[in-house]
Amino acid sequence: QLDPDNTGFIGVETFASLVHSHELPLDPAKLDMLVALAQGNDEGQVCYQELVDLMSSKRSSSFKRAIANGQRALPRDVLLDETGLGFYKRFVRYVAYEILPCEMDRRWYFYQHRSCPPPVFMAAVTLTQIIVFLCYGARLNKWVLQTYHPEYMKSPLVYHPGHRARAWRFLTYMFMHVGLEQLGFNALLQLMIGVPLEMVHGILRISFLYLAGVLAGSLTVSITDMRAPLVGGSGGVYALCSAHLANVVM
């Protein structure tokens, strides 16, 4: 009815009036994106496929163009101005500002965020590292576990280039730490940077990124020092910090 010529486009004013007259429950962020898309179009029209992408939360080229147009076409109060938010919503807003550099992208994430599935990967890795450290600390009665300690080096988790035939060691060394200082530093960065990144980008991307950093660490040691044992999750932490660097620069 709104497109009698079957062009695949409708005017944004027509669509907006339809939304308001029928009181359709659209997310404010989606409506902002829709108006931004239309204002970026020379004829002020909305493509049917772009509408479908927005309604289905599909991040397509239309989403990217809406982000670009939205900054200059929709001068609105920033997300930080919203009041009356609960603790969890304030945390989501904090994550949006830490991870996403664009205000429209932040609003989109804030309205689209769902708590399921939760960011369990980084939390599980950190918890496992703490448990392993406590177990070895209690067993050896030492809380500064030097990598050359005989009992410590017998662990099947420690990576050493001489044991590279045991392929699991390329990754499992991330659960071993030589002291509270190393463990605390890695755990802090994993929770402060890794959890927000996982909330925005999902468990698959962040787990792959973290494990790739861990693997890169063991492979590098295999090349640079064939005598050195390797422990700690620093490789994965450096990968997380590097991933966050783009957000910091922008």
**Could you say which DSSP state residue 116 is in?**
S
* The predicted structure's pLDDT at residue 228: 78
Same domain, 96 and 181: no
| Residue 88 and residue 65 in one domain | no
Which of 97, 113, 104, 110 has the alpha carbon at shortest distance from 40? 104
Q: What does the alpha-carbon distance between residue 209 and residue 197 come to, in Å, rounded to a whole number?
A: 11
Ranges of beta strands (E only) in 81-226 are: none
Can you tell me the distance from the alpha carbon of 13 to that of 225, in angstroms, rounded to the nearest whole number? 67
Same domain, 212 and 171: yes
Q: Output the tens digit of pLDDT for each of the chain's 250 residues.
A: 777 777 777 777 777 777 777 766 666 666 666 666 666 566 667 777 767 766 666 555 555 555 555 544 444 456 777 777 888 888 888 888 888 877 777 777 777 777 777 889 999 999 999 999 998 888 887 777 766 677 777 888 888 888 888 899 999 999 998 888 889 999 999 999 999 889 888 899 999 999 999 999 999 988 888 887 888 899 999 999 998 887 778 7
Q: For residue 202, what is the domain's CATH number? A: 1.20.1540.10
Cβ pair 82, 93 in contact under 8 A = yes
Residues 5 and 66 in one domain: yes
Please check whether residues 125 and 220 belong to one and the same domain.
yes
Question: What's the rounded Cα separation, in Å, for the pair 213 and 218?
Answer: 9
One domain, residues 201 and 173: yes
Burial label, 153 (beta-carbon count in 10 A; 0-12, 13-18, 19+) = middle
- Residue 7: give the domain boundaries: 1-73
Whether 100 and 126 map to the same domain: the answer is no
Number of domains in the chain: 3
Same domain assignment for residues 192 and 238? yes
Secondary structure (3-state) at 66:
helix
Q: Taking the model in full, what pTM does it have? A: 0.68
| Residue corresponding to tokens 């463990």 | 183
Tokens of 151: 């009992």
Do 98 and 130 reside in the same domain of the chain? no
Domain shared by 125 and 240, yes or no: yes
